[in-house]
Amino acid sequence: DQQVKQNSPSLSVQEGRISILNCDYTNSMFDYFLWYKKYPAEGPTFLISISSIKDKNEDGRFTVFLNKSAKHLSLHIVPSQPGDSAVYFCAASFSGAGSYQLTFGKGTKLSVIP
Amino acid sequence: DTAVSQTPKYLVTQMGNDKSIKCEQNLGHDTMYWYKQDSKKFLKIMFSYNNKELIINETVPNRFSPKSPDKAHLNLHINSLELGDSAVYFCASSRIGEGQYFGPGTRLTVT
């Protein structure tokens, strides 16, 4: 049972345009959400996070939006750059877990075309 | 400086063997984790550990055991390896409530 879903396995975007990666979750107990970026043969790299008390968090070119009623979050990358080409994982946790264990989505492969 | 390191990067071994993967973090984090990424690319939590408690994902076989000699290390021991254990294993660390930092992964192949 997938509690975190990324329904688009891949996405292609032109350089300079906006990339929008989507993520849905089913467990209403989740209260902390993160996005990770992963290059081949490397570990995931933390990008940005958001807690459930917010609906938006911004860090440079990366913005994460959270819609709690829809159990949906998205990552916006503006402007997209070729170096952004990677697999992006959405992850969620809840403070009740104590250790903030993460539940990951399956990932979306982003290709930014020069 | 490497924040979270794992050794070895690649591990090829035969069924039935016992092996260990080492993990070290130099970030001063209080919690460490082990994740498994299977052939379908799902990243799944196996363990989380801080100096207070070990939390085990109930789906992890008891052939897998984490060992923490100190706060900076969390090693993964696997007994009686099976073909289905072949995967990439990632170590991670964090402060409670913050984003986790991952190691580069160890690709385990069981033949």
Q: Residue A91: its chain B contacts at CB < 8 A?
A: 43
pLDDT tens for each residue of B41-87 = 788 889 888 876 787 777 889 999 999 888 899 999 999 999 999 99
Band of residue A79 on the pLDDT scale cut at 50, 70, 90:
very high
Task: Output the 3-class SS for B5-45.
Answer: EEECCEEEECCCCCEEEEEEECCCCCEEEEEEECCCCCEEE
pLDDT tens for each residue of B17-40 = 999 999 999 999 988 999 999 877
Q: Residue B31: its chain A contacts at CB < 8 A?
A: 99-100
Identify the DSSP state of A96.
G
Chain A residue at shortest CA distance from B10: A41
Top residue of A47, A90, A101, A109 to mutate, by most chain B CBs within 10 Å, is A101
3-state SS, residue A48: strand
pLDDT of residue A68 exceeding 90: yes
Rounded Cα distance, B7 and A105, in Å = 26
In this prediction, residue A98 carries a pLDDT of 52
Residue that is written with structure tokens 């990339």 in the block: A19
Top residue of A27, A102, A109 to mutate, by most chain B CBs within 10 Å, is A102
What part of A 52-71 touches B (C-beta under 8 Å)?
none
Pick the more confident residue, B96 or A46.
A46
pLDDT average, residue stretch B73-102: 91
In this prediction, residue B99 carries a pLDDT of 81
pLDDT average, residue stretch A55-66: 97
pLDDT of residue A25 exceeding 90: yes
